[in-house]
């Protein structure tokens, strides 16, 4: 993509606007690179995985997490305040009878601090439009076939509110350490488009 | 009244496509657009709600044909012009 004609044209326009803003004192030398680095260092699915594993092994933490996620993740040294504004976080947990999945129908709201940069499919009109109409069908396309009697709840994120899913702890993991458990958790599991 | 970004429940969009090993950005300019927006909001040139609004009021045909970060760049240049930072001609390099 970076080599095609339209991408080259917009890259040139972006460079032009950057130069204009530097000239007008609205952009410091080196600021763009610094902010890109900050963004990329600002979040990772490893954070969401760590929260999940801790909730699996500590029932009291799980309860606090579901009641007030912003406060609970601070116990693990994490925060939703790293972006442009502090975001309210609600964490929902899958059970044998209920599955949760997250979307932002209006655009792309997402807990970047806990999941890292969002995948393109999450931001696509295709996902945003369909997951609220036919969540079961969309999850099936992602390879997640849920029993017909599993209730599915779709959470629509907004400018002020972000959501994260705690997947179900897989069976046969009783002997695993918390770090090993965290290693099982994927970004899609934390969005709700995978089992774990 | 809803605007074109309010796509929840609409039908007719193409299939959901998952990209294996997807990078955070597909081209350098996308990362630059993200950083540029953060810089302008931090400086108070505009705020986050104004930025969202500028994306959401794009003409529907433009909104639907633009990529994610193309929408962002459109919103940035719209707001820079509206806030009087630069004229549309200056922003376009004319």
- Residue A82's pLDDT is 73
Per-domain boundaries in chain B = 28-83
Angle between helices B28-42 and B68-82 (to 10 degrees): 40
Count how many pairs of residues, chain A against chain B, have C-beta atoms within 8 Å: 142
| Predicted-complex ipTM score | 0.94
To the nearest whole Å, the CA of A178 is away from the closest chain B CA by 26
- Residue A81's pLDDT is 81
Q: pLDDT by residue (tens digit) across B22-64?
A: 999 999 999 999 999 999 999 999 999 999 999 999 999 999 9
B46 touches chain A (CB under 8 A): no
| Overall CATH class of domain B28-83 | mainly alpha
Instruction: Report chain A's mean pLDDT, rounded to a whole number.
Output: 94
- Chain A environment of B55 (Cβ under 8 Å): 107
- Residue A171's pLDDT is 96
A124 appears as a binding residue in the annotation: no
Active site residues of A: 104, 107-109
CB contact under 8 A, A106 and B5: yes
Tokens of B90: 């200056």
* Whether the Cβ atoms of residue B69 and residue B23 lie closer than 8 Å to each other: no
To the nearest whole Å, the CA of A64 is away from the closest chain B CA by 30
Q: Hey, of A1, A17, A121, A128, which one would you mutate to test binding to chain B, going by the most B CBs within 10 A of its CB?
A: A17
Give dist(CA A91, CA A103) in Å, integer.
14
CB contact under 8 A, A141 and B22: no
A107 appears as a binding residue in the annotation: yes
- Residue A2's pLDDT is 41
- Residue A154's pLDDT is 98
Whole-number Cα distances in Å, A100 to A37, A68, A193, B23, B38 = 32, 17, 9, 26, 31
A2 appears as a binding residue in the annotation: no
Whole-number Cα distances in Å, B80 to A165, A191, B34 = 37, 34, 15
Q: pLDDT by residue (tens digit) across A1-31?
A: 444 667 899 999 999 999 999 999 999 999 9
Domains and CATH numbers, chain A: 5-40 (no CATH), 43-191 (3.90.330.10)
B75 touches chain A (CB under 8 A): no
* Whether the Cβ atoms of residue B41 and residue B51 lie closer than 8 Å to each other: yes
To the nearest whole Å, the CA of A47 is away from the closest chain B CA by 17
- Residue A16's pLDDT is 97
Give dist(CA A62, CA A66) in Å, integer.
6
- Residue A168's pLDDT is 98
Give dist(CA A31, CA B36) in Å, integer.
9
Residues in Cβ contact with A173 at an 8 Å cutoff, skipping those fewer than 6 apart: A180, A181, A184
- Chain B environment of A132 (Cβ under 8 Å): 8-9
Q: Burial of A177 by CB count in 10 Å (0-12 exposed, 13-18 middle, 19+ buried)?
A: exposed
* Whether the Cβ atoms of residue A43 and residue A82 lie closer than 8 Å to each other: yes
B62 touches chain A (CB under 8 A): no
- Residue A7's pLDDT is 86
**Over residues B57-85, mean pLDDT:** 97
A118 appears as a binding residue in the annotation: no
Give dist(CA A146, CA A27) in Å, integer.
50
Q: pLDDT by residue (tens digit) across A114-173?
A: 999 999 999 999 999 999 999 999 999 999 999 999 999 999 998 889 999 999 999 999
Instruction: Report the candidate in A121, A132, A108 with the shortest Cα–Cα distance to residue B10.
Output: A132
Whole-number Cα distances in Å, A61 to A53, A69, A104, B57 = 11, 10, 27, 42
CB contact under 8 A, A130 and B6: no
Give dist(CA B88, CA A16) in Å, integer.
12
Q: pLDDT by residue (tens digit) across A100-113?
A: 999 999 999 999 99
Q: pLDDT by residue (tens digit) across A29-47?
A: 999 999 999 999 989 999 9
Tokens of B33: 């657009």
């Amino acid at each position: 993509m970076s080599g095609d004609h339209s991408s080259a044209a917009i890259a040139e326009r972006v460079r032009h606007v950057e130069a204009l803003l530097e000239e007008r004192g609205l952009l410091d030398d080196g600021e763009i690179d610094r902010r890109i680095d900050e963004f990329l260092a600002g979040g990772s699915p490893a954070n969401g995985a760590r929260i999940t594993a801790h909730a699996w092994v500590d029932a009291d933490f799980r309860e606090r997490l579901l009641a007030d996620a912003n406060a609970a993740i601070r116990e693990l040294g994490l925060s939703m305040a790293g972006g442009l504004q502090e975001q309210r976080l609600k964490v929902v947990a899958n059970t044998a009878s209920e599955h949760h999945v997250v979307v932002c129908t209006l655009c792309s709201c997402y807990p970047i601090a806990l999941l890292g940069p969002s995948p393109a499919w999450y931001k696509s009109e295709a996902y945003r439009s369909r997951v609220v109409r036919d969540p079961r069908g969309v999850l099936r396309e992602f390879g997640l076939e849920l029993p017909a009697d599993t209730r599915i709840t779709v959470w629509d994120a907004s400018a002020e509110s972000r959501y994260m899913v705690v997947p179900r702890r897989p069976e046969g993991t009783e002997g695993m350490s918390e770090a090993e458990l965290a290693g099982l958790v994927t970004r899609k599991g934390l969005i709700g488009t995978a089992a774990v | 009244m809803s605007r074109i970004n309010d796509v929840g429940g609409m039908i007719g969009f193409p299939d959901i496509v998952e990209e294996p090993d997807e990078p955070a950005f597909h081209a350098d300019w996308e990362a630059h657009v993200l950083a540029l927006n953060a810089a302008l909001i931090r400086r108070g040139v505009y705020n986050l709600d104004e930025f969202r609004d500028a994306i959401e009021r794009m003409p529907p045909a433009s909104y639907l044909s633009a990529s994610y970060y193309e929408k962002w760049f459109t919103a940035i240049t719209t707001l820079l012009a509206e806030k009087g930072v630069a004229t549309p001609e200056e922003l376009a390099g004319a």
